[in-house]
A and B are shown apart, each in its own frame.
Chain A
Amino acid sequence: MFKSCTGAVGELGMNELFTQLFLPSGLLFFPLIVGCMGSLTFGVVGSYVTARRVTYIGTGISHAVVGGVGAAFFFQSVTGWGWLSPTVGAFAAAVVSGVIIGRVILTSGHKADSVITAVMVIGMSSGVLFLNKTPGYHDPMSMLFGDILLVSRQDLPVIALVNAGVILIGLLFYNRLLMVCFDEEFARLRGINADAYFMLLILLTALTTVVMMKIVGVIMVIALLSLPAMTGALIGRKLWHCMLAATVICAFCVILGLVVSYILDLSSGPLIVVFSGAVHLVALTVRRFWPVSRLAHGS
């Protein structure tokens, strides 16, 4: 985790903060770009999974990814396969666990809870076991909690490409995904392949989880997938309103988290999640005194 050079607000000029944030040479420049790009993905995909009430799928996938990363480290060191990077392992584990969870939900929904738990714990445990047997030292903590401040210029193209793909698919199929998320049965009756769209949603969740785990780690990626979207759902009348609100809230929390972590010499990932939680609690409190009927009469 990044530790601030000064650690005190008084000693840290605003100019230095701006330099770190907005100049390419600044420590916070690339994390800021990745964080804002990720906010868009979290806003779009998070709103779908929150509205469909399947955030637990993200939890299952994000934990199962540890198994993929561990296996990739192990087989890379044993076989020498250079292409088998931790990111490839994470993608493979996310897709496989997503397909397993998705099929179980579609075919026997009542078993989903136990299957997701099994996928989650087996994924994590096997990941730790693989790391135990991998030569050299691999810190599982960086995987679990991530570090946005370690994001470099080299990471940017991959993250940007996957984010762009996820957002494009999420927006292109907006009407279909909206229909399937709202009433799957009715969508089927209208001749729509609801199962395929549900699996597409799971795939988007899996991709988001893998790419974004670098920012906050596998444990807290689910927080950014759900908390801003849940807050957005308190505000928006339509799903795309919620996506927009969730994106803005997520970006706000990422920027605030980065700035505060720099000033107060604290870990950025947990701070971002804490701010997301705080914003959600504030929104819930406001909603209690200002119900949705008053928010939504606007148009």
Chain B
Amino acid sequence: MSLKHVAFRYPNGTLALKEVNLTVHHNRNVAVLGPNGGGKSTLLKLILGILKPCAGTIEVMGSPPHVACNYLGYVPQHATIRPDFPITVREIVLHGCAGNHWLGWHASGCRHCVDSVLEEMGIAALANRRFCQLSGGERQRVLIARALSGHPAILLLDEPLANVDPASRAKFQETLRGLGRRMTVLSVSHDLAFLADGVDRVVFINGGSREFDPKEVQAANVQELYRGGGGTGNE
């Protein structure tokens, strides 16, 4: 995945990102950090092809994002999802492997795939529970399972620790590290807890982008980084 000289301007004229350069190789675990309003979620939407850059190029697996969408697994912030929607865990995960059938019928083998993903994420026992009955951490696992059921090469997570209670964080991060060993994982967060072990690179986004080694960031003054981390271009 590579972003070269990417800039994005919202319709109201606000320049959200400028000169963002980022290259992520296979099976790397990258944390994108930055303050609120720094452009992290915008960057994610550009990579997903939901937004189009006003300058620069984005390539995912050698193709533009909208062509490569089948390689991408996306885990949104579950705050954006209607929690009281009448839907079970299994149904949500089935959406991840929704085929191209015009009626939305699931391909054979899809249910088996869902079962194995539910097992892998440790939520097999919740398969028939309603989404609204789950805790924040469980909901996050369900959304990851949905993304994984599409067999993505790149997993993009938006604020994955936002609703996970402190007791479950370690286990959750262990899950992400495990995923990072077999696919590219790019997590967007304002939470510096992401600087824990297992992250290969840290990218600070605050209008622009700067790449760091995780150890480098841990040693630095965090507030200083947040204030000045949005310098343009990679350094």
Residues of A within 8 A of B (CB): 47, 51, 53, 172-176, 178-179, 181-183, 185-192, 233, 236-239, 241-242, 292-293, 296-297, 299
Contacts and interface: CB of A to CB of B under 8 A. Distances in A.
Interface of B: 48-50, 69-70, 72, 74, 76, 80-82, 84-88, 91-92, 95-96, 98, 100, 103-106, 128-130, 132-133, 146, 150
A284 B85 CA distance: 16
18 contacts: A176-B104, A178-B87, A178-B91, A182-B82, A182-B92, A182-B95, A186-B76, A186-B95, A187-B95, A189-B49, A189-B69, A190-B96, A190-B98, A191-B100, A233-B84, A238-B91, A292-B130, A292-B132
Contacts of A172: 103
A192 B98 contact: yes
Nearest to A175: B104
B85 A237 contact: no
Contacts of B85: 51, 181-182, 239
Given A238-B91, A292-B130, A186 B82 contact: no
Contacts of B48: 189
Nearest to B102: A176
Contacts of A293: 133
A299 B91 CA distance: 14
Pairs of residues from A and B, 4 with the lowest C-beta to C-beta distance, nearest first? A175-B104, A176-B104, A242-B86, A296-B130
Contact of B104 (A173, A182, A296): A173
A175 B69 contact: no
Contacts of B129: 296-297
- Give the interface SS of chain B, mostly helix, strand, loop or mixed: loop
A173 B95 contact: no
Contacts of A191: 69-70, 100
Nearest to B105: A175
Nearest to B97: A190
A178 B85 CA distance: 10
B211 to A, nearest CB: 26
Contacts of B72: 189
Contact of B133 (A173, A189, A292): A292
A53 B81 CA distance: 12
Contact of B74 (A51, A182, A186, A296): A186
A299 B104 CA distance: 25
A168 B77 CA distance: 34
A51 B84 CA distance: 8
A236 to B, nearest CB: 5
Contact of B95 (A190, A292, A297): A190
Nearest to B99: A190
B201 to A, nearest CB: 24
Contact of B81 (A175, A183, A237, A241): A183
A291 to B, nearest CB: 9
Given A51-B86, A186-B146, A293-B133, 6 more contacts: A173-B104, A183-B76, A189-B74, A190-B96, A237-B88, A299-B128
A179 B95 contact: yes
Nearest to A296: B130
A230 to B, nearest CB: 11
Contacts of B80: 183, 185
A173 B50 CA distance: 24
Contacts of A185: 50, 76, 80
Nearest to B127: A299
A53 B96 CA distance: 23
B103 A176 contact: yes
B106 to A, nearest CB: 7
A47 B150 CA distance: 28
A79 B100 CA distance: 49
A296 B128 CA distance: 8
A297 B134 CA distance: 12
Contacts of A176: 103-104
A293 B103 CA distance: 32
A238 B91 CA distance: 8
Given A188-B50, A237-B128, A237-B130, A182 B87 contact: yes
A188 B48 CA distance: 10
B82 A175 contact: no
Nearest to B104: A175
Contacts of A242: 86
Contacts of B96: 190
B91 to A, nearest CB: 7
B98 A179 contact: yes
B92 to A, nearest CB: 7
A182 B81 contact: yes
Nearest to B106: A175
